[in-house]
Amino acid sequence: MSWRLLLHPPAPGAVNLALDLAILEAVAAGTAPATLRLYQWAPACLSIGALQPASRTLRQPPGEPGRDWVRRPSGGRAVLHADEVTYAVITPEHDPLVAGGVIAAARRIGEALAVGLRQLGIAEATLAPGRRERRGSPACYDAPSSAELTVAGRKLVGSAQLRRSGAVLQHGSIPLTLDRATLACRLALPEEERATLLAALQREATALAELLPVRPDPAAVMVAVVAGFEQVGVRLLPGELSAAEQARAQRLEAQFRSVEWNWRR
């Protein structure tokens, strides 16, 4: 199977999520091919899940919507996107890599990512066997969920999935380093719970720089991820966004920057 490969420069949160959603819509409409998109965030941005209540998740004042924080169209919990490479897999539901439901798709995508990470020297990257999230925690990285990548039981890659109109979007974070303290400080938690979360993040989460002799270059991580997908049978062809996708993404940016969208729960 052949997919389009998009390598995008760092961008604000609203831009990144608008692009993911515009591509999802185009793939669903049959006007764009299955796509692997790799990108980064600038400035650092906290994203919250589609169903998370912003007022009970974010410490006040949260900053500018779409820039300092943003609501994802996918589920899951809060993630601080800072020093990371983000992947987005966007395909029709009938694509072999994502067929068979949410968990089956997540496991196949996770296997491709694991193969790629082994090329970086992360030999022990494996899929989490089952759901193990801490109840009540607003943060994503304090424990692995089913089909997410772990190393020695500690979460390395967190992901979220959205299915719409016959197409699938799964995007996730591959952290080069983890700023646990900033994530904990940006969430609406009593100080005692903040300390508990920080301890859980230290115990349950990790990043590439903590597993390798030196922090890898983001470009090297992207090369490894591409190699991982190709080794599981995905042929990746460098491509570009269509004019229609670019125009739709520009319109969607307004949604991801709006108070109405970001505070809707």
Per-residue pLDDT, 139: 62
Percent of the chain with pLDDT over 90: 90
* pLDDT at 233 (0 to 100): 96
Q: How far is CA 92 from CA 20, 28, 30, 79, 96, in A?
A: 14, 6, 8, 26, 9
pLDDT tens digits, one per residue of 233-250: 999 999 999 999 999 999
Q: What is the pLDDT of residue 141?
A: 52
Q: How confident is the model at residue 23 (pLDDT cuts 50, 70, 90)?
A: very high
Minimum mean pLDDT among 54-68, 118-132, 153-167, 249-263: which range?
118-132
Average pLDDT over residues 44-69: 96
Give the pLDDT of residue 129. Answer: 79
| Catalytic site positions | 140
For residue 131, which of 121, 143, 142 has the smallest C-alpha distance? Answer: 143
d(CA 150, CA 130): 11
pLDDT digits (tens, 9 = 90+) for 172-187: 999 999 999 999 999 9
Q: In degrees rounded to 5, what are phi and psi of residue 169? A: -120, 120
Report the CATH number of the 2-262 domain.
3.30.930.10
8 A C-beta contact, residue 145 and residue 156: no
The domains of the chain are located at 2-262
Alpha carbons 105 and 111: distance in angstroms, whole number? 10
Q: How far is CA 40 from CA 12, 80, 86, 125, 265, in A?
A: 9, 12, 6, 22, 26
Query: Quick check: 121 pLDDT over 60?
Result: yes
Q: What is the pTM of this model?
A: 0.93
- For the stretch 122-171, pLDDT in tens is 988 999 876 545 455 666 555 556 678 999 999 999 999 999 999 999 99
pLDDT at 128: 85
Query: In whole numbers, what is the pLDDT of the chain averaged over residues?
Result: 93
Q: How far apart are CA 154 and CA 141, in angstroms?
A: 9
In contact, 245 and 88? CB cutoff 8 Å: no
Arithmetic mean of pLDDT, 72-85 = 96
CB 184, CB 201: distance < 8 Å: yes
Q: Phi first, then psi: what are they for 177, rounded to 5°?
A: -135, 160
Give residue 251's pLDDT: 98
